[in-house]
A and B are shown apart, each in its own frame.
Chain A
Amino acid sequence: MQVHIEKVSSKDEEQAVIKAVEITDEIRGAIELLEGESKGFAVSRDGQTYIIKASAVYYIESVDKKTFVYTKQGCYDCKYRLYELEVMLGGYFMRCSKSMIINLRKIKNVKSQMSGRIDATLLNDEVVIISRGYVKEVKRRLGLS
């Protein structure tokens, strides 16, 4: 496959366009790499340390200065703070409230409430709240504004 690189002046302009006949495993791997989904980070549970892929994370919550990472397999402790994970994971991970980061790729659907907040149902049927103040950013990340 031919690779063209074009220099741009700002981070906002950065993008990768892949032209392919079909999405092969190699291309899927490249997409994961570019989107930061293949990034792994250390978490722990019951005294055991694990490395989990960002793509396995549903959401990350901070409670009493402790960080918890939620995946399909359950909840893990994490040594990183929310703001560190936000920078580290990037892409489809974004703040949905002061104490939570959500993975947009794990949202099944959303429903706005009269108060202006959004209830997001995840793929595991858990419902998390996207606060009114973060709704604009969700739309921006999804290319809607």
Chain B
Amino acid sequence: MNKLKIWLEQTMMISFAILVGIIIEGLFFTLFSGDPLYEFKMDWLQMVSIVLTGAVCSLPTVLWLVDTELPKNKFTVRIILHCIGLYAIVSLFGWLFKWYTKVDGFIFMTIIYFAVYAFTWTVTLWFHKRDDNKINKALDDIRDEE
């Protein structure tokens, strides 16, 4: 049940990240494509594709990263594999659902993907640090003296 909850949370988070990525891509091409006829559109199929990709991308996260008790170096290897795995999934779904049609679109998606991936981990670690500080401060008040 706990893993199902994490999977749903991850699906929402990754779907949102993909949506932001697509919006940035659309905004960039609208502003800088030089084509006056270029029009950024999103239809219902793209919305479905975003949620579907988020759901599939969440599976490796839940199965590989959550509550694993691995040494730091092995966990780092797992994160690298996770990053590559997710990149493969996003590329495949992007191609299937036509988030990109040309090489420049694919390159742009790649840049956005790695930026979002790095940003997500940075924010996660920052939240962890903030929580640690709060918990440690609360523990200071109740700790036994020995």
Contacts and interface: CB of A to CB of B under 8 A. Distances in A.
B138 A144 contact: yes
Nearest to A142: B138
A117 B146 CA distance: 27
Contacts of B75: 113-115
A contact face: mostly helix, strand, loop, or mixed = mixed
Contact of A112 (B66, B131, B142): B131
Contacts of B68: 115
A83 B19 CA distance: 45
Provide the main secondary structure of the chain B interface. helix
B139 interface: yes
Given A115-B75, A132-B66, A138 B135 contact: yes
Interface residues of A, number: 28
A123 B65 contact: no
Give the most central of B135, B139, B146: most A CB within 10 Å.
B135
A116 B146 CA distance: 30
Given A112-B131, A114-B124, 10 more contacts: A104-B139, A105-B142, A106-B143, A107-B139, A115-B66, A115-B67, A115-B68, A115-B69, A132-B6, A142-B139
Interface of A: 55, 72, 92, 104-118, 123, 129, 131-133, 138-139, 142-144
